[in-house]
Amino acid sequence: MLKSLPTTDEGTYGETNNTIDSLIHNQKQFPISDTMNKLFNGIQYKNLPIINIRVSQNNTILTYTESNGVVKLIRSCGIEGFRNARKGTNVAAQSTAITFGTRTLENGVRSVRVRVRGLGPGRTSAIKGLQMAGLDVVSITDSTPVSWSPPRPRKQRKL
């Protein structure tokens, strides 16, 4: 019976095991004290425009703002044409991000910072859509609010 088993695992042939530390060995991914003055395509990091992605279970809203906070462009899955439950899907978020990214490129913006807020199915797919549109995403910041005082538990059931 043991002779009938394959000698090598057929599904994992050619794969290697990499740890996260080995992948970021040569890259500087974490901010340092001089990051705010670093240049990305000729623009300082602190002057890069920001794309805010507001994700919920029901919708995904993308907002393009300048570094000082002036809103230039807003798109959501509802504006894109998705209705009802389809607004909350990752497909809707990605297609909205692609059209949003092309409109941002038309405004002359190439490098952006991304700020994600909220929990929902469109978090990663919206960022992938921005990259598919041709934007250079410099940094991704998660600014999801965290409640440090959760609601009270239900009262105990009386038997």
The whole-number pLDDT of residue 34 equals 82
Residue-wise over 41-57: b if at least 16 C-beta within 10 A, else e? eebebeebbbbbbbbee
60, 123 contact by CB (below 8 A): no
Q: Reduce the DSSP state of residue 3 to 3 states and report it.
A: helix
Which stretches in the chain have pLDDT values below 50?
none
The whole-number pLDDT of residue 16 equals 59
The whole-number pLDDT of residue 134 equals 92
The whole-number pLDDT of residue 35 equals 82
Share of the chain above pLDDT 70, in %: 82
Pairing state of beta strands 50-55 and 111-117?
parallel
The whole-number pLDDT of residue 135 equals 92
Among 98, 94, 141, CA closest to 122? 94
Q: What is the dihedral of CA 61, 65, 71, 75, to 10 degrees?
A: -30
**Sheet of 111-117, strand order:** 71-76, 60-65, 50-55, 111-117, 136-142
The whole-number pLDDT of residue 147 equals 87
Q: Reduce the DSSP state of residue 141 to 3 states and report it.
A: strand
Q: How far apart are CA 79 and CA 10, in angstroms?
A: 47
Domains of the chain, first to last = 42-142 (3.30.420.80)
Q: How far apart are CA 63 and CA 23, in angstroms?
A: 32
